[in-house]
Chain A
Amino acid sequence: MSYPTLRTFIADEFAMDLTPDQLTDDLDLIENGIIDSLGVLKLIAFLEGEFDLIITPDELDPDNYHTISMIEDIIREKHKTAA
């Protein structure tokens, strides 16, 4: 399952300088410095609100947020745990 609203959110909020082709599922958002400190807040607030999940401070590990694919994995895992 993919989450198109996640891609749209990241494109609109953080990647306005990138073309849709450049914003691939595997583009490294961390390595390329695309998400700044305020962006992290926005991303977490978006994930919690849009997908009805809670991300604890302990789960805010940079290693989990490198790419859109990895963030989608978090959403799937959270929903699976909650089910």
Chain B
Amino acid sequence: MRIYPQISLATPGDSFRADLVQTLTDGLSRWKDALNAGWIEDDQQGCFGTGRWQALVDAGLTGLVTSEDFGGMDLAAAELAEVLEHLGYICEDAGLGFSLATHLCSTCVPLKTFGSDALREELLPDLVSASRVGAHAITEAHSGSDAFAMKTTAVRDGDAYVISGDKCFISNAPIADICVIYARTHPTKGALGGFSAFAVDCDSPGFTIGKPRKKMGLRTAPMADLYLSDVRVPASRLIGREGQGFVMLDAVMRWEILCVFAIQVGEMRRQFEACLAYAKERQQFGARIGSFQAVSHRIADMHMRLQSARSWLARMVAALEGGGQASLEFAGAKLAISEAHVANAMDAVTLHGGTGYMSETGIEAQMRNAMGGLIYSGTSDIQKNRIAAILGL
């Protein structure tokens, strides 16, 4: 059930490929059952859904951002957002969408944007086919929000770099084959110029993946810590130039926020429509619960937050396609959508009462999953810092 027509995210004058987007979203809808098979049980057990992942691969989603030269589709921001929003709408396994966004943004985006021709040719076809899965590693135990306080180092040694350090909370780590490692390559330089990124094989000698970590939400998206002890990486695996780590991460974060939160807007829409239908159908005290003002106002609040979230998504798309820094739009969008999603998810649980509290319905999982959005890709507090900084405060 769709309550209202979706306004296209395409911006005037861009070359939005409506037919391609329609083909992809129609195709995704055909995979709906496979994308949702067994997700509640896997969420309860904290298992990655191999079959659901394969459905994503078969639907072509692992090639969304990579160019046609390497088997991908090279979607523009508006096209990508529409397809991923549809994924969030039809796929209830938020962890699966999160793993996909991680795969696309951690490796495909930096390789496509900054990688040498040789590196792109070596890695992108396998990342498109998902015969190799991608991840990236930024966070360390002592440097979360202050990401560039990281201590992992990469020291040049002949035709290679030697990387040492520990990384934590790495999404996709338990299933990853290629991990983009961010490391300090200069002893004194700050964020600009002091860090670099490397595409590292996860089976390299000295590269250890820790035990899968248990977490509050997104339990079907596997996560682990990484331990790198004198991992020797060919200099050819440096992405871009030495010292470009900050610039690269800044670009990657934009695409990550776009992808992750486009999916979340789709999830919010599915959740809202289910809540509206429930409010119209559920009877208590001899009347539809939607006829009670307390419930109808909750639905109205959810509607407003959803529309606000999608407007922020559209602003983000326009900013990305506009080519400027657009940091204000990205910080605002990340903050607004993540907080709206949490608020709506809590309302959804409340609206459904005891049913919403039961794991078997998946409604409480949406709330746990949404909470992560306040933290990853820069916490809400950090986004407010960024907004304030850009405003000159």
Show the binding face of A for B, using Cβ within 8 Å: 30-42, 44-46, 48-49, 54-57, 60-63, 65
Interface size, chain B (Cβ < 8 Å)? 27
Closest to A54 in B: B324
Does any Cβ of A come within 8 Å of B164's Cβ? no
Q: Is chain B's interface secondary structure helix, strand, loop, or mixed overall? A: helix
Does any Cβ of A come within 8 Å of B325's Cβ? yes
Complex alpha-carbon distance, A46 and B328, angstroms: 13
Inside 8 A of B328's CB, which chain A residues have their CB?
Answer: 45
**Partner-contacting stretch, out of B165-173, B197-205, B214-222, B240-248:** B240-248
**Partner-contacting stretch, out of B187-195, B256-264, B353-361:** B187-195
B191 & A45 in contact (Cβ 8 Å cutoff):
no
Contact of B325 among A35, A55, A65 (CB under 8 A): A55
**Partner-contacting stretch, out of B5-13, B155-163, B383-391:** B383-391
Ordered by A's residue number, 5 sampled pairs between the chains whose C-beta atoms are within 8 Å are A36-B190, A40-B192, A44-B327, A62-B189, A62-B244
Contact of B190 among A33, A41, A44, A48 (CB under 8 A): A33
Contact of B188 among A32, A36, A45, A56 (CB under 8 A): A32
Inside 8 A of A61's CB, which chain B residues have their CB?
Answer: 244, 247
B327 & A36 in contact (Cβ 8 Å cutoff):
no
B392 & A46 in contact (Cβ 8 Å cutoff):
yes
Within 8 A of A (CB), among B176-195: 188-194
Does any Cβ of A come within 8 Å of B73's Cβ? no
B392 & A49 in contact (Cβ 8 Å cutoff):
yes
Inside 8 A of A41's CB, which chain B residues have their CB?
Answer: 327, 386, 389-390
Within 8 A of A (CB), among B289-329: 323-325, 327-328
Complex alpha-carbon distance, A54 and B319, angstroms: 12
Complex alpha-carbon distance, A46 and B327, angstroms: 13
Does any Cβ of A come within 8 Å of B343's Cβ? no
Complex alpha-carbon distance, A62 and B241, angstroms: 10
* A48–chain B nearest beta-carbon distance, Å: 7
A57 & B325 in contact (Cβ 8 Å cutoff):
yes
Complex alpha-carbon distance, A60 and B114, angstroms: 13
- Highest count of chain B CB atoms <10 Å: which of A37, A42, A55: A37
Does any Cβ of A come within 8 Å of B147's Cβ? yes
B323 & A65 in contact (Cβ 8 Å cutoff):
no
Does any Cβ of A come within 8 Å of B251's Cβ? yes
* A42–chain B nearest beta-carbon distance, Å: 5
Complex alpha-carbon distance, A39 and B146, angstroms: 12
- Highest count of chain B CB atoms <10 Å: which of A36, A41, A42: A41
Complex alpha-carbon distance, A37 and B250, angstroms: 10
Inside 8 A of A39's CB, which chain B residues have their CB?
Answer: 190-191
Closest to B243 in A: A62
Closest to A38 in B: B389
* B182–chain A nearest beta-carbon distance, Å: 12
A55 & B191 in contact (Cβ 8 Å cutoff):
no
Complex alpha-carbon distance, A44 and B330, angstroms: 15
Closest to B191 in A: A37
Inside 8 A of B244's CB, which chain A residues have their CB?
Answer: 61-62
Q: Known A33-B189, A35-B190, A36-B148; judge A60-B250 contact (CB<8 A).
A: yes
Complex alpha-carbon distance, A65 and B147, angstroms: 21
Q: Known A38-B386, A41-B327, A44-B327; judge A31-B189 contact (CB<8 A).
A: yes
Inside 8 A of A34's CB, which chain B residues have their CB?
Answer: 190
Closest to B328 in A: A45
Complex alpha-carbon distance, A44 and B331, angstroms: 15
Complex alpha-carbon distance, A25 and B202, angstroms: 44
B390 & A45 in contact (Cβ 8 Å cutoff):
yes
B192 & A30 in contact (Cβ 8 Å cutoff):
yes
Closest to A28 in B: B189
Closest to A65 in B: B192
Closest to B327 in A: A41
Inside 8 A of A35's CB, which chain B residues have their CB?
Answer: 190-192
Q: Known A34-B190, A37-B148; judge A62-B247 contact (CB<8 A).
A: yes
Closest to B188 in A: A33
Inside 8 A of B243's CB, which chain A residues have their CB?
Answer: 62-63
* A78–chain B nearest beta-carbon distance, Å: 12
B327 & A33 in contact (Cβ 8 Å cutoff):
no
Complex alpha-carbon distance, A33 and B246, angstroms: 13
Closest to B247 in A: A60
A57 & B193 in contact (Cβ 8 Å cutoff):
no
Closest to A57 in B: B251
